[in-house]
Amino acid sequence: MLEEKIKAAVLDLYDVKLEKLTIERPANENHGDYSTNVALELASEVKQKPLEIAKNVSYKLTQYNLTFEKHGKEHKIFERIEAAPPGFINLELSSEWLHYVLYLILGTADNYGVYDKSSYKGKNVIVEYTDPNPFKVFHIGHLMSNSIGESISRLVEFNGANLKRANYQGDVGLHVAKAIWGLIHLMNEDGLEVGNLAGKPLTERIDYLGRGYARGAAFFNDDESAQQEIRQINSIVYVVAQEHMAETGSWKPLVDYKKSLGDVDASGALYTRVKEVYTTGRGWSLEYFETVYKRLGTHFDLYYFESMAGEFGYELVSEWLGKGVFEKSDNAVVFRGDNYGLHTRVFVNSVNLPTYEAKDLGLALLKNRDFPYDISIIITAEEVAEYFKVVLKALSLIDPDLGARTLHIPHGMMKLTSGKMSSRTGDVIAGDLLLNNVRDVVLEKMESQEYRVPQENVKEIADKIAIAALKYSILKQNLGRDIIYDKEKSISLSGDTGPYLQYTYARTCSVLEKSDYSFNPDHFVLEIDKLNAPHHLEEAVLRQLHVFPEDVATASEELAPHVICHYLLHLAQAYNTLYVELPILTAETSLRKKRLYITKSVNQVLKTGLHLLGIATIERM
């Protein structure tokens, strides 16, 4: 509304139709709640001093009906609209509006903050994230992708998108062949069969898979004969994966891998062994991934696998090979990215198998087939940003519309401040290992009474705190930046941390429980014009509550969860200062009532904001 009114004032006064207008929230509270430099921008065009323009526009705005109506009464939105040198227009919200914000929050509950003009509203949006590989460790990179993807999914969904969460998992490829080779050798050495492992706890089975992959990866790099055996297994894996999809679903193969690969003997003992290890190990991995997703508070609507996408991609590359998008080179099929300022990449390799590039092409078609999307968002690590530029360029040549609707968001890497944590494979930190490590430190603090929590469900609460600590550490940074994760700092109950926000929420719950107050926003709003001007500490909280919808809009439109992190931190700090400095439960009646409404509103906004970050709330802490 404010932007429209300023544009209207400029049009009325100067007959200038503004295309763009900058309105900011000043860092200095003496400059009001909003400020615009429109007069400075207009000065040269209308041949007038900026301060004079600012005065004219300010006066014009005071003549407009900048009010809100409730129960038949008009209330002003702005207390002050004035010009300031050298040509700014500063606007300060009225106490009536700031109190009305409490009504808006409690009257709309979970919907407060929804951005009605969101570019995602009513659109079909698919967000692909996490993307772990069966037979390999679910590592801290997957934790990053999951945390970012889940938050972005919640932001666009909150603002009206028809959302599907997608997970793309690598169930074929050399990593699978390395793991199977290593598992076969480990089982031979240990005198075990797959059936012997099936009865063990899932964590032990996953640990065994990790050991198998580590073994195969090491020998692939150092032993030529092992490398040849793993490459042979790799060809078999593509065939058994295809058979597995056909046997367990309604998949009809698009590519005859037995024919195209040529070196696969489906009747041999090796084929039978690989198929058994593959189907069983794949199942264990997927079962394990689901336990991690549940723990992190995420879920997926659509699951895709490289075995499936690879066939689509292979067919697509074959089709467009003859149309000039791809070309043959050294028995492989490549895309000449250097023709477009990118680098050339292989899409079908020399043994006639689709590469990651071809699979990602096929995946775009698969996703659009299952859920015709307006926007496809793909979240991966920054290290594959250049790779995705090539893939998306090839996609745009094949299907310009689909390419234009696909957005790749790269994120930085996570590094630990300490190298003391070992991993199952020795070089990659498992996500659950890190979560468990943080949770155990939280449990130690609970035992020492540094964290005071209910004695029931202690481990569950500790896990929620640990997950909040990790997620917030990831999300509070700009997505492209690397993260140095400091475990001790991340679990602090003071400062810029997830547990601090959970603690503030629990504090509001405690105040509300002790108050035993029945809230009626409609009755409260009737008293808006009778309330005294807020105390400056109340005002600080009210102003934070007011800007929540603006920050949600920014976070959603820019796909920037860190905006919500920063907002919640400032809100929590403002409320905690009020809580410490002013009486709430023991205040005189009218102040007690207002401060309880403030507490209830902070409680609601913290709950919504933490939900948008994918962080669980804790009511007693």
Instruction: Check residue 271 and report its DSSP letter.
Output: H
Categorize the per-residue pLDDT at 403 as very low, low, confident or very high, splitting at 50, 70 and 90: very high
Residues 140 and 82 in one domain: no
Query: Which residues make Cβ contacts (< 8 Å) with residue 40, sequence separation at least 6?
Result: 50, 86, 87, 88
Residues 58 and 154 in one domain: no
Residues 79 and 172 in one domain: no
Residues 408 and 491 in one domain: no
Which pLDDT belongs to residue 423?
40
Residues 58 and 129 in one domain: no
Which pLDDT belongs to residue 528?
66
Q: pLDDT by residue (tens digit) across 55-89?
A: 999 999 999 989 988 777 888 999 999 999 999 99
Categorize the per-residue pLDDT at 427 as very low, low, confident or very high, splitting at 50, 70 and 90: low
Residue 208: inside a domain: yes
Alpha-carbon gap, residue 162 to 415, rounded angstroms: 35
Residues 459 and 593 in one domain: yes
Number of domains in the chain: 3
Residues 300 and 444 in one domain: no
Residue 21: inside a domain: yes
Alpha-carbon gap, residue 476 to 496, rounded angstroms: 9
Residues 436 and 571 in one domain: yes
Residues 217 and 162 in one domain: yes
Inform me whether the pLDDT recorded for 424 exceeds 50.
no
Residue 211: inside a domain: yes
- The H-assigned helical ranges of 199-268 are 202-222, 224-248, 257-261
Higher per-residue pLDDT: 185 or 258: 185
Q: Which class for 608: exposed (0-12), middle (13-18), buried (19 or more C-beta within 10 A)?
A: buried
Categorize the per-residue pLDDT at 254 as very low, low, confident or very high, splitting at 50, 70 and 90: confident
- Which residue, of 77, 93, 109, is where some domain finishes? 93
Report the CATH number that the domain containing residue 452 is assigned in CATH.
1.10.730.10
Residue 489: inside a domain: yes
Which pLDDT belongs to residue 557?
97
Tokens of 587: 């205040």
DSSP, residue by residue, 291-306:
HHHHHHT---SEEEEH
**Residue with token string 């920050």:** 551
C-alpha distance from residue 31 to each of 41, 80, 97 (Å): 19, 10, 18
Alpha-carbon gap, residue 615 to 621, rounded angstroms: 15
Rg (CA), the chain: 29
Report the CATH number that the domain containing residue 55 is assigned in CATH.
3.30.1360.70
3-class secondary-structure state, position 35: strand
Note if the bond before 561 is cis, omega within 30 degrees: no
Tell me phi and psi for residue 406, to 5 degrees.
-110, 130
Residues 77 and 138 in one domain: no
Categorize the per-residue pLDDT at 529 as very low, low, confident or very high, splitting at 50, 70 and 90: low
Q: pLDDT by residue (tens digit) across 555-582?
A: 999 999 999 999 999 999 999 999 999 9
Inform me whether the pLDDT recorded for 200 exceeds 80.
yes
- The stretch 263-280 carries a mean pLDDT of 89
Residues 399 and 460 in one domain: no
- Which residue, of 54, 72, 93, is where some domain finishes? 93
Alpha-carbon gap, residue 438 to 436, rounded angstroms: 5
Which pLDDT belongs to residue 250?
75
Inform me whether the pLDDT recorded for 420 exceeds 80.
no
Residues in the chain: 621
Q: Are 7 and 18 in contact (CB under 8 A)?
A: yes
Of the given ranges (148-162, 177-191, 259-273, 500-514), which has the lowest mean pLDDT? 259-273
Inform me whether the pLDDT recorded for 379 exceeds 90.
yes
Q: pLDDT by residue (tens digit) across 216-242?
A: 999 999 999 999 999 999 999 999 999
- The stretch 481-485 carries a mean pLDDT of 90
Work out the angle at residue 130's Cα, subtended by the Cα atoms of residues 126 and 135, and round it to the nearest 5 degrees: 130
Q: Are 407 and 377 in contact (CB under 8 A)?
A: yes
431-447 helix and 458-475 helix, angle to the nearest 10 degrees? 120
- The stretch 148-173 carries a mean pLDDT of 97
- The stretch 111-126 carries a mean pLDDT of 95
Query: Which residues make Cβ contacts (< 8 Å) with residue 345, sequence separation at least 6?
Result: 334, 335, 337, 355, 357, 387, 390, 391
Residue 338: inside a domain: no
**Residue with token string 């190990």:** 281
Residue 268: inside a domain: yes
Categorize the per-residue pLDDT at 11 as very low, low, confident or very high, splitting at 50, 70 and 90: very high
Q: Are 407 and 376 in contact (CB under 8 A)?
A: yes
What does pTM read for this prediction? 0.94
End-to-end Cα distance, the chain: 41
Alpha-carbon gap, residue 475 to 485, rounded angstroms: 12
Range of the domain at 544: 431-613
Checking 319-322 for CB contacts under 8 A at 24+ apart, the result is 320/397, 320/398
Categorize the per-residue pLDDT at 426 as very low, low, confident or very high, splitting at 50, 70 and 90: very low
> Going by DSSP bridges, is the β-strand pair 483-485/88-93 parallel, antiparallel, or unpaired?
unpaired
Kindly report the average pLDDT of the chain as a whole number.
93
Alpha-carbon gap, residue 183 to 207, rounded angstroms: 11
Percent of the chain residues topping a pLDDT of 70? 97
Tokens of 97: 């509006």
Q: Are 98 and 130 in contact (CB under 8 A)?
A: no
Residue 354: inside a domain: no
* Phi-psi label, residue 281: left if phi above 0, alpha if psi -120 to 50, beta otherwise: alpha
Inform me whether the pLDDT recorded for 486 exceeds 70.
yes
* Nearest residue to 158 (alpha-carbon basis) of 607, 580, 576, 602: 607
Residue 142: inside a domain: yes
Residues 175 and 302 in one domain: yes
Q: Are 410 and 382 in contact (CB under 8 A)?
A: yes
Report the CATH number that the domain containing residue 195 is assigned in CATH.
3.40.50.620
* Nearest residue to 117 (alpha-carbon basis) of 564, 554, 544, 559: 554
Which pLDDT belongs to residue 202?
96
